[in-house]
Amino acid sequence: MGGRLVQLAWRNLWRNRRRTFITMTAIAFGYAMLLFVACLMAGLRWQMIENGTCLVMSQIQVQAPLYYPSRLIQKTLGGGQGTDVNALLSVITADRRVYAAAPRAYGYGLLSAGHRSAGVELMGIVPERERKITILNSEIIRGDYLTARIPKGVVLGDKLASTIGMELGSEIVLLTQAADGSMGNDVYTVVGIFHTGLDAVDRGLVLMSLPALQELLQLAPTRIHEVGIKLNDITAATAVAAALERQLHKIVPARARAWPELAPELASYVQFNHAITFVLFFIFFLMAVIGVMNTMLMAVFERTRELGMLMALGMRPIQVVMLIIAEAVGLAVASLVVGGAIGVPLLWYLQAHGLDLGGASGEVISLAGVVVGHLWYGRQDFPAYGEAAVGLATTALVSALYPAWRAAHFKPTEAIRKV
């Protein structure tokens, strides 16, 4: 009986081809649009998270429990004794979800060249590891990234360079308060200048090799402030951070913080983005309800006589309801298939080529303090596509309820007389 009903519903759908086709086109395009929007929104989220973490921050930071927020240079991992950095790194990279990890040290100091000086943040890195987790190395506009060739080389931002009047090869003095309280100072050479587009970084960050910074700060080679981590899948960050924290306790007390904690503004942007996507979905579903309901009501009233005849022949009201619902859901499913067929090439294009936001000007778009870039790439968000499909099918079902209810209340004797 159920199979027959579906068959009957399907046949009924194609009896008024034009009407079915128009409704189908509307829903199909609507679904394609939803896919398009979901893909772009997911792309924006991903680009925001990726760009917000890839410059300096990284996706997970492992630090001594009390390092943040005071960021005192004495509060290294493992305290005054430090820790076996290589063992720490191998425990972290043993987690399959971790793509790469890099040790870091930080300090604050006065950078001086000629008669000008400025307060800067110092970051000590291991270049070959760091370039796997952040992309500052690809933002160098003059000179090179840090190399082992020049142990006392520093890389800094273009804004800092122009404010102080530094060029490639300039000698600078860094003055800082070392871990033992003494006045650490030394002469360094500018080997590279980067431009990230983020003012705070371009104006205030100085990169140098980890051993060079440890020497300046009077920290033993075992003492680092942080391990920065990049994951294979950024959305797993919070879970991986919690797992790492448990693992690391065997070696050293540590606190692992994932990007939503490191950059709450980024996390709240992601939430905001989800909310917008939801609102767009909701509006579309409302429109779909009206479209489907209109079609089904028309289909029911047009066939009053026919439905009355079926009931007179013994079809029970519940079966009439099922028939109408089956027609509506059939309409929706067919529309989804067509919509998907239109959408998929679009999604593929978005992910591969992106939307050009800056146009010919090539201007860079930044949002919530994060550089998005001049191309807006889409990213496949299959859960959202599924939600959209289920949502649409449900919408069709809900909007068929009223027409179906009307049809079920036809009186066969009256209905068969209707022309």
Question: Binding of another protein at residue 179 (CB under 8 A)?
Answer: yes
Count of residues in contact with another protein, rule CB under 8 A: 22
| The binder of another protein chosen from 2, 3, 70, 187 (CB under 8 A) | 187
Residue 416 φ then ψ, to 5° = -70, -15
| The binder of another protein chosen from 5, 140, 150, 175 (CB under 8 A) | 175
Min dist CB 179 to another protein, Å, is 8
Q: Rounded to a whole number, what is the distance in angstroms from the first to the last CA of the chain?
A: 28
Min dist CB 152 to another protein, Å, is 11
User: What track of x and - describes contact with another protein for positions 293 through 322 (by CB under 8 A)?
Assistant: ------------------------------
Min dist CB 194 to another protein, Å, is 23
Q: Where are the alpha helices (DSSP H) in 217-316?
A: 237-248, 259-262, 264-302, 304-312
Min dist CB 75 to another protein, Å, is 11
Do 332 and 352 touch, CB atoms closer than 8 A? no
Any idea how long the chain is?
419
DSSP 8-state code for residue 357: S
Do 153 and 187 touch, CB atoms closer than 8 A? no
Question: Binding of another protein at residue 118 (CB under 8 A)?
Answer: yes
Complex with another protein: residue 2 or 119, whichever CB lies closer: 119
Question: Binding of another protein at residue 419 (CB under 8 A)?
Answer: no
| The binder of another protein chosen from 96, 115, 246, 250 (CB under 8 A) | 115
Task: Report the alpha-carbon distance of residue 108 to residue 72 in Å, rounded.
Answer: 10
Min dist CB 161 to another protein, Å, is 17
b/e string for 267-297 if b means 16 or more Cβ within 10 A? Answer: bebbeeeeeebeeebeebbeebbebbbebbb
| The binder of another protein chosen from 84, 167, 180, 302 (CB under 8 A) | 180
Q: Output the CA angle 351-357-363, nearest 5 degrees.
A: 125
Question: Binding of another protein at residue 185 (CB under 8 A)?
Answer: yes
Subset of 20-79 contacting another protein (CB under 8 A)? 74
Complex with another protein: residue 80 or 383, whichever CB lies closer: 80
Complex with another protein: residue 183 or 313, whichever CB lies closer: 183
CA 323 to each of CA 9, 288, 333, 364: distance values in angstroms, whole numbers, following the listed order = 6, 20, 15, 55
Task: Report the alpha-carbon distance of residue 56 to residue 60 in Å, rounded.
Answer: 11
Question: Binding of another protein at residue 250 (CB under 8 A)?
Answer: no
DSSP 8-state code for residue 363: P
Q: Which chain residues interact with another protein by CB under 8 A?
A: 74, 80, 110, 112, 114-119, 171, 173, 175, 177, 179-183, 185-187
